[in-house]
């Protein structure tokens, strides 16, 4: 009688009997920087920026530093945006030139980076909920228009869900609902904080959109000045020099790469998603008449990503070693010299821009230093500002007890007022956050009640 045959081993048993060979890890990328090293480098430069960078935007002074000074010292200058009648500035701001400026667009820049990273990183599954949450944090607590940068990623999510069947659609819906749910908690937090300070229901992100998008011609952002469509191109060239052309060339270079490598364009659809946010943002804001440098801050991570993709494509092409190609016949030393020379020039231009900005805009930070000397400032005295009022760096540069006032000058627009007096030390609610100030309007119309006579200055 033949011996009984053994049942075939299950797949798991087979795997246990024959352990798979570990995959060889790819060799380390030359000159690669570890994430922790990059973190310390960025922290060093951001610290230097916080210590030395001048305040270049008066909106930073009067809409963020002055309200902060009011909360901390019970007095400060108040713009019409903080009037409860308009309430287009949130009392729940996010955080502290772009990385260190005390502006909502700076905060949105950081949340854009986190949101894009969540959408891009598919390791361990899609992170749609995290991406939606970070963009919501930036849009609600920072600047509401920054959520537009999430559009390409959400479109990708929707297309993938539709083409991959019912199960994929259900999974995508769950991820999206989870992200929307967490976002609504952020909206609720902002609504609660701002409504408490203003003492009336206030959804600040909605008010910002209504004012900036749906205002009649005699109101809205355009009354504060307009610029040609080329403004952002010139500004970004000044700040990013060679990296702006690289960012703008990312799409053409990607298409050329696919054409010459004879790969179908569909094989790189994710790359198209990655490079779309910067083009989208630049197109939207170049079409708006009113332009300011800080409006580009939220898109800086997208610009950097586009430039990195272009740089990768160019370096890969430059490193082509086949002697049958023209690039392959260029000596390696000459290629290295070209790369190092280009990157060295970009670094030099970057430091030149940093020094130029410091040299041109740091004077207001030093103008008020003599007031800190003993015996110079008198408690209760005033510093009066004229037509260059917008260069005032904030009440933090004045001695304790001294306040800023305005005298009549060539300027004919609406000046800031003062928050209603609070209790020293902030032990009670600050009445200036909910008291409706006099003489405020959203049409930039002059209010003569903001002026004091020159003898009042001392």
* pLDDT tens-digit series, residues 68-114: 999 998 899 999 999 999 999 988 766 446 778 899 999 999 999 99
Are the beta carbons of 61 and 393 closer than 8 angstroms? yes
Contacts of 385 (CB under 8 A, 6+ apart): 392, 404, 405, 406, 407
The confidence score (pLDDT) of residue 339 equals: 87
Nearest-angstrom CA–CA distance, 93 and 70: 15
pLDDT tier, 357 (very low <50, low <70, confident <90, very high otherwise): confident
Domain ranges of the chain: 84-214, 224-313, 320-367
Q: Within a 10 A sphere around the Cβ of 111, how many other Cβ atoms?
A: 27
Give the C-alpha separation, 388 to 161, whole Å.
Answer: 56
Contacts for 296 with CB less than 8 Å, ≥ 6 apart: 232, 235, 236, 281, 285, 303
Among 148-152, 167-171, 193-197, 376-380, which is the least confidently predicted range?
376-380
- pLDDT at position 28 over 80: no
Give 406's DSSP letter: E
Structural contact between residues 70 and 430, judged by C-beta atoms closer than 8 angstroms: yes
- How many residues are listed for the chain in this entry? 458
Joined tokens for residue 37? 């090293």
| DSSP string for residues in 348-363 | HHHHHHHHHHHHHH-H
pLDDT of residue 12: 40
**CA angle centred on 126, ends 122 and 130, rounded to 5°:** 110
Q: What pLDDT, on the 0 to 100 scale, is given for residue 143?
A: 95
pLDDT band for position 266 (cuts 50, 70, 90)? low
Q: Is the pLDDT of residue 318 over 50?
A: yes
Please give the structure tokens belonging to residue 234. 């010139």
* Averaged pLDDT for residues 261-278: 86
- Residue 405 pairs with which residues in a beta bridge? 384
Q: What is the CA radius of gyration of the chain?
A: 28
pLDDT for position 30: 60
* Per-residue model confidence (pLDDT) at position 95: 40
User: Among the listed ranges 18-27, 153-162, 180-189, 281-290, which one has the minimum average pLDDT value?
Assistant: 18-27
**Which residues share a beta bridge with 418?**
77
Kindly indicate the confidence band of residue 29, based on its pLDDT and cuts at 50, 70 and 90.
Answer: low
Mean per-residue pLDDT, 150-179 = 94
Is pLDDT above 60 for 18? no
How do residues 429-454 score in pLDDT, each as one tens digit? 789 999 999 999 999 999 999 999 98
**Model confidence at 14: pLDDT above 80:** no
Mean pLDDT of 178-201: 96
User: For residue 417, what is the DSSP state?
Assistant: E
Q: Nearest CA to 316 among 324, 308, 249?
A: 308
Task: Assess whether pLDDT exceeds 50 at residue 426.
Answer: no
CA 311 to chain centre: 23
pLDDT at 423 over 60: no
* C-alpha span between 371 and 381 (Å, rounded): 11
pLDDT for 161: 92
**Band of residue 11 on the pLDDT scale cut at 50, 70, 90:** very low
Task: Give 405's DSSP letter.
Answer: E
The yes-or-no verdict on residue 45 having pLDDT over 70 is yes
What per-residue confidence (pLDDT) applies to 425?
47
Q: What proportion of the chain, given as a percentage, has pLDDT over 90? A: 63
pLDDT of residue 435: 93
Structural contact between residues 369 and 396, judged by C-beta atoms closer than 8 angstroms: no
Once rounded to an integer, what is the mean pLDDT over residues 414-441? 82
Q: Cα(first)–Cα(last) distance of the chain, in Å?
A: 118
The pLDDT assigned to 2 comes to 45
Q: How far apart, in whole angstroms, are the C-alpha atoms of residue 228 and residue 245?
A: 19
Does residue 21 carry a pLDDT above 50?
Answer: yes
Q: What would the mean pLDDT of 184-195 be, rounded to a whole number?
A: 96
């Amino acid at each position: 009688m033949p011996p009984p045959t053994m049942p075939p081993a299950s797949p798991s048993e087979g795997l246990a009997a024959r352990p798979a060979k570990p995959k060889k890890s790819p060799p380390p990328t030359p000159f690669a920087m570890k994430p922790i090293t990059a973190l310390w480098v960025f922290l060093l430069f951001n610290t230097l920026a916080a210590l030395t960078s001048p305040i270049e935007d008066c909106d930073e002074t009067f809409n963020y530093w002055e309200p902060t000074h009011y909360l901390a010292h019970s007095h400060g200058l108040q713009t019409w945006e903080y009037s409860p009648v308009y309430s287009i500035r949130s009392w729940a701001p996010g955080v502290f030139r772009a990385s260190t400026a005390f502006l909502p667009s700076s905060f949105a820049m950081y949340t854009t980076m986190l949101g894009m990273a969540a959408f891009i990183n598919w390791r361990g599954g899609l992170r749609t909920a995290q991406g939606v949450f970070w963009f919501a944090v930036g849009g609600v607590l920072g600047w509401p228009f920054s959520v537009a940068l999430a559009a390409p990623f959400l479109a990708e999510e929707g297309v993938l869900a539709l083409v991959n069947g019912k199960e994929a659609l259900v999974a995508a819906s769950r991820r999206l609902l989870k992200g929307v749910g967490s976002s609504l908690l952020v909206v609720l937090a902002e609504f609660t904080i701002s409504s408490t300070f203003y003492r009336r229901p206030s959804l600040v992100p909605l008010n910002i959109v209504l004012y900036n998008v749906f205002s009649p011609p005699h109101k809205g952002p355009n009354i504060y000045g307009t610029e040609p469509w080329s403004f952002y191109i010139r500004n970004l060239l000044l700040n990013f020099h060679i990296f702006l052309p690289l960012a703008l060339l990312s799409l053409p270079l990607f298409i050329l790469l696919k054409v010459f490598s004879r790969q179908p364009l569909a094989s790189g659809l994710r790359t198209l998603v990655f490079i779309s946010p910067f083009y989208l943002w630049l197109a939207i804001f170049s079409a708006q008449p009113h332009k300011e440098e800080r409006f580009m801050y939220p898109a800086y991570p997208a610009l950097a990503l586009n430039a990195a993709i272009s740089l990768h494509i160019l370096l890969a092409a430059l490193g082509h070693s086949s002697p049958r190609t023209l690039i392959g016949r260029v000596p390696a030393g000459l290629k290295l010299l070209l790369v190092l020379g280009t990157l060295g020039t970009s670094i030099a231009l970057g430091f030149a821009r940093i020094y130029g900005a410091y040299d041109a805009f740091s004077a207001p930070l030093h103008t008020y230093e003599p007031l800190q000397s003993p015996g110079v400032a008198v408690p209760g005295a005033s510093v009066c500002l004229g037509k260059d009022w917008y260069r005032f760096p904030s009440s933090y540069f004045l001695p304790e007890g001294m306040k800023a006032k305005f005298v009549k000058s060539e300027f004919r627009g609406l000046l800031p007022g003062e928050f209603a007096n609070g209790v020293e030390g902030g032990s009670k609610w600050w009445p200036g956050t909910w008291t409706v100030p006099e003489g405020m309007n959203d049409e930039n119309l002059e209010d003569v009640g903001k002026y004091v006579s020159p003898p009042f200055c001392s």
